Chain A
Amino acid sequence: MTFEHCVRCTICVENCPVYKVEPLFPGPKQSGPDAQRFRLDGEKSVDQWVKYCCQCRRCEVACPYGVQVAEIILKAQLKYGEEHLSPFSSHLFANAYHLEAIGSTLAPLFNRVAALSLTKKAMSLFGISGELDLPAFRFLNLERGRRRKGRGRKVVFFYGCHLNFNRPDIGTGIRDLLVSMGCRVVMPPQTCCGLPALGNGDLDMARKYANKNASVLTSYIDRGFDVVYACTSCGLSLVQDYPGILDVEGGRKIAENTYNVHEYILSLIQQGSVKIPLGILERKIAYHIPCHLRALGIGYPATKLFKLIDGLQVSVLEDHCCGMAGTYGFKKRNQNTAARLGEIASGAIRGLGVDAVVADCGACRMQLEHFTGLPALDPSEIIREALQNSPEHRGKTEKGIVRWWRGIKDARHAARTLPAWPRR
């Protein structure tokens, strides 16, 4: 639906996280469909406020008429980015993949240098917020690990940059979870999904990344593989942007054959091909729904898996954006907005008396861990913990999932002190 279908009801405005806290942002209605009525093709864009939009796409999910508010704003952002000199931080973050690859290669050194206050001061000169710590990088990333495992149903795992460079432990955990369910998991060479480049106003760069991934993924899909993603932002990019705004070759095919990992596990259970022996897990968790999982429109598959776990108490929170929005919160310009939104989102969690925050998105986890002080986990970690507690797994020698879970637990403990790869 185009801007002409907008009836100006302001439901999108009620859902905009940035509009809530940033007086300079006029809200999705005004910067989206309203302003679009005045934007002419030949004219230079003048609405500099579009850069405040964090592309959480809550407006699009909320719109009862299906107007693609966020996409209208995204196009305006791209046009504005083309016509105006964009800040250096945008160029840096558009290239997030390469930066992270460097960070990972030089991991122990890079992590220590990044934590120095002098480095933070230097970064703030480039428009990067010095308030937040950069996530710790791991040298033994997924690219350097085992790329094929198991046999059975053919699955390509699109792990995304965050799991690759920062949390390979979660990545290998998901790989082994799928393997234990009778999947042959392949993790082919892949690059950034392109969303950071798109969010930082660089359409060409985003296309370049997307084309690279698309050629790999389509070749696997043609051989009967299903694509599975864990990061919901990568997933949204694969499903919505590849056939949509990026318009890459084979985009439609990718969109049709791509699954959220929990959606995939559910479908395996549904088909009766696997039984997962989930044990009792006495925990109380808050499940923060990432904005991009909402935008996917597939419901919240992980909640259905959580319901299969006895003893697990889950509070689903879906009304708050954590404020990080990928690279958005790392920019100095947005740091106050991000911090306020993080405060609001974690305020809702604090009152619940939970022992952990669970979120599918790496950026959400970083932000919420920072603001709530609670451990932030991926849903797959909860599922693996429940599997570990099952009577079928207990007492066996440490193999497969159990061994991995041990390794991950140790790694999480170690991560608090030193950046380290899971000990085997």
Chain B
Amino acid sequence: MSAVTHDVVVIGGGMSGLMASAYLAGKGFKTALISQGDPVCCLSTGCVDVLSPGTHPLEGFDGLPPGHPYRLVGRKGIEDGCRLFKEIMATTTIPYAGTVRKNREILTPIGTFKTTCLVPLTMTGAEGCRDGYTHVISFNGLRDFYPSYITSRLKNTGFSLYDAGITSTLGIATRFEDKAFLEAFIAWIEGLEIPPGKVALPAVLGIQSPVQIMEEISRRIGSEVFEIPTLPPSIPGLRLFRALKGALTARGGDLYWGKAVGSVECRGSMVEAVTLATQGRPSRVQGRAFILATGSFVSGGLFARIDTVNETVFDLPVYVPGPRKDWFWNDFFTAGHPIEKAGIEVDGSLRPTRSDLKNLFVCGSILAHGEIMKNHCGHGLAIATGLKAARICEGFLS
């Protein structure tokens, strides 16, 4: 009943779905985004890994297996995706730095450095902090962030603790949005007499306007300030998600949040509508084209049974790497599990192969052969394939 036909209906509110829908909404298409809950990117560090962890993000591109989704978008597609992502983020309060030409370094909560491609502006200060003194500031009672991990690993560092009156990352980040709290915090740092150098904090400098808060502290104390990503609940992940979602609504996209797709209506080889499983009368969302970006196992796009894997919305055929006994190795972090290859196989225009649906395009981590953990390509793959799907959709609709 609540159906008003959309040009595009994107299913899945993660990085890939948000990118695709923001792009299409920006092009003037009537776009709807359906998501059962908030995406996994809320739990991420907010940084965008593209591919290789070395100095050049795309140096491992030629080594990718032939079926890898990156092969479908190509180097240019990855570059375009990252550029568009940065453009979209620049219109929000969470701008990003970095290019696909060179990886950047960020500091981790255990005092090691991690390379990544695109970095939120609040974390860029970590580059070059090996050269001088870095003072880590943490908060009384803040769980899962121990500055002594950093000070014991990195030379030329020290730390202090501030009492924020609340012990969660979310609570502290919320307090930083408050002017009076920020003033008191700055006054406290000024009284510390820290040696000249940089100041590092866990990523709690506000939710809405972190760059503004970081610059204010930096300006007042006269030294560079940067953030260190934390374990979930991760504020940079939350900021990234909210900013992208805000970019979509600002471009006129419609949101259907919190309910899963219950059923699908097809006529011939065209998907006509999906129905949301609400408690009351099912809510129907019609569209001319559909983008499937429901993610992999963790996000609920794929569901594993004892010996099979199902795709949860359209029940598309899923590529599975052999029987269950072949799904897992002992070593997870270096080689990844073979089951990570599971997903939807697509043709060059991101339509699922082994299915006759003409107006359905698939993107993001639900694509087969992605092996995100092994290839360090989570957000990068989501962004690049999301843009590709959106562009194909654009061509399909016009």
Which one of B42, B252, B281 contacts A14 once the chains associate, using CB atoms below 8 Å?
B42
B74-82, B151-159, B160-168, B383-391: which one contacts chain A?
B160-168
A43-51, A125-133, A172-180, A259-267: which one contacts chain B?
A259-267
Q: Which residue of A lies closest to B299 (CB)?
A: A64
Which one of A259, A296, A316 contacts B1 once the chains associate, using CB atoms below 8 Å?
A259
Cα A62 to Cα B168 with chains together (Å): 19
Q: A21-B171, A60-B258, A295-B258 are in contact. Are A65 and B1 (CB under 8 A)?
A: no
Q: Mark A284-307, 1 if CB is under 8 A from B, else 0.
A: 000000000011111111011001
Q: Are A267 and B280 in contact (CB under 8 A)?
A: no
Interface centre among B3, B39, B208 (most CB of A within 10 A): B208
Q: Are A344 and B174 in contact (CB under 8 A)?
A: yes
Q: Are B279 and A255 in contact (CB under 8 A)?
A: yes
Q: A61-B258, A257-B281, A316-B249 are in contact. Are A11 and B171 (CB under 8 A)?
A: no
Which residues from 20 to 42 on chain A have a C-beta closer than 8 Å to any C-beta of chain B? Answer: 20-21, 23, 27
Cα A316 to Cα B247 with chains together (Å): 11
B378 → chain A closest CB, angstroms = 15
Asked if B197 is at the interface (CB within 8 A of a chain A CB), the reply is: no
B168 → chain A closest CB, angstroms = 7
Cα A27 to Cα B3 with chains together (Å): 36
B232 contacts across to A, CB distance below 8 A: 9-10, 14
Q: Are A64 and B40 in contact (CB under 8 A)?
A: yes
Asked if A240 is at the interface (CB within 8 A of a chain B CB), the reply is: yes
Which residues from 255 to 283 on chain A have a C-beta closer than 8 Å to any C-beta of chain B? Answer: 255-259, 263, 266-267, 270
Count of A-B contacts judged by CB separation below 8 Å: 126
A298 contacts across to B, CB distance below 8 A: 2, 256, 276, 278, 283
A9 contacts across to B, CB distance below 8 A: 40, 43, 232
Asked if A164 is at the interface (CB within 8 A of a chain B CB), the reply is: no
Asked if A249 is at the interface (CB within 8 A of a chain B CB), the reply is: no
Cα A19 to Cα B174 with chains together (Å): 10
Asked if B233 is at the interface (CB within 8 A of a chain A CB), the reply is: yes
B211 → chain A closest CB, angstroms = 15
Q: A14-B38, A266-B4, A295-B258 are in contact. Are A258 and B171 (CB under 8 A)?
A: no
Which residues from 294 to 308 on chain B have a C-beta closer than 8 Å to any C-beta of chain A? Answer: 299-300
Q: Are A299 and B43 in contact (CB under 8 A)?
A: no
Asked if B372 is at the interface (CB within 8 A of a chain A CB), the reply is: no
Cα A319 to Cα B242 with chains together (Å): 8
Cα A230 to Cα B42 with chains together (Å): 32
Cα A377 to Cα B246 with chains together (Å): 22
B165 contacts across to A, CB distance below 8 A: 23
B255 contacts across to A, CB distance below 8 A: 299-300, 318
B291 contacts across to A, CB distance below 8 A: none
Cα A23 to Cα B140 with chains together (Å): 13
Asked if B328 is at the interface (CB within 8 A of a chain A CB), the reply is: no
A55 contacts across to B, CB distance below 8 A: none
Asked if A15 is at the interface (CB within 8 A of a chain B CB), the reply is: yes
Q: A62-B38, A256-B280, A300-B254 are in contact. Are A10 and B233 (CB under 8 A)?
A: yes
Q: Are A15 and B38 in contact (CB under 8 A)?
A: yes
B300 contacts across to A, CB distance below 8 A: 64-65
Asked if A170 is at the interface (CB within 8 A of a chain B CB), the reply is: no
Q: Are A62 and B37 in contact (CB under 8 A)?
A: yes
Interface centre among B3, B165, B257, B283 (most CB of A within 10 A): B257
Asked if A66 is at the interface (CB within 8 A of a chain B CB), the reply is: yes
Asked if A244 is at the interface (CB within 8 A of a chain B CB), the reply is: yes
Q: Are B168 and A304 in contact (CB under 8 A)?
A: no
Asked if A231 is at the interface (CB within 8 A of a chain B CB), the reply is: no
Q: Are B36 and A64 in contact (CB under 8 A)?
A: yes
Q: Are A243 and B279 in contact (CB under 8 A)?
A: yes
Asked if B32 is at the interface (CB within 8 A of a chain A CB), the reply is: yes
Q: A255-B279, A256-B280, A304-B254 are in contact. Are A297 and B37 (CB under 8 A)?
A: no
Q: Are A299 and B32 in contact (CB under 8 A)?
A: yes
Q: Mark B45-69, 1 if CB is under 8 A from A, else 0.
A: 0000000000000000000000000
Q: Which residue of B lies closest to A239 (CB)?
A: B280
Q: Are B177 and A344 in contact (CB under 8 A)?
A: yes
Q: Are A297 and B171 in contact (CB under 8 A)?
A: no
Q: Are B252 and A307 in contact (CB under 8 A)?
A: yes
Q: Mark A1-18, 1 if CB is under 8 A from B, else 0.
A: 000000001110111100
Cα A9 to Cα B297 with chains together (Å): 14
Q: Are B171 and A23 in contact (CB under 8 A)?
A: yes
Q: Mark B278-289, 1 if CB is under 8 A from A, else 0.
A: 111101010000
Interface positions of B (Cβ within 8 A of A): 1-4, 32, 36-40, 42-43, 165-168, 170-171, 174, 177, 208, 232-233, 238, 242, 246, 249-250, 252, 254-260, 276, 278-281, 283, 285, 299-300
Q: List 30 A-B contacts (CB under 8 A).
A: A9-B40, A10-B43, A13-B233, A14-B42, A14-B170, A14-B238, A15-B38, A19-B168, A20-B171, A61-B257, A64-B37, A64-B299, A64-B300, A65-B300, A66-B260, A255-B281, A256-B280, A266-B2, A270-B3, A297-B257, A297-B278, A298-B283, A299-B255, A299-B256, A299-B283, A299-B285, A300-B255, A318-B249, A318-B255, A348-B208
Additional pairs, 10, CB under 8 Å, beyond known A13-B170, A23-B167, A62-B258: A9-B43, A9-B232, A23-B171, A64-B39, A64-B40, A64-B299, A66-B260, A256-B281, A266-B4, A347-B177
Interface positions of A (Cβ within 8 A of B): 9-11, 13-16, 19-21, 23, 27, 60-66, 238-240, 243-244, 255-259, 263, 266-267, 270, 294-301, 303-304, 307, 315-316, 318-319, 344, 347-348
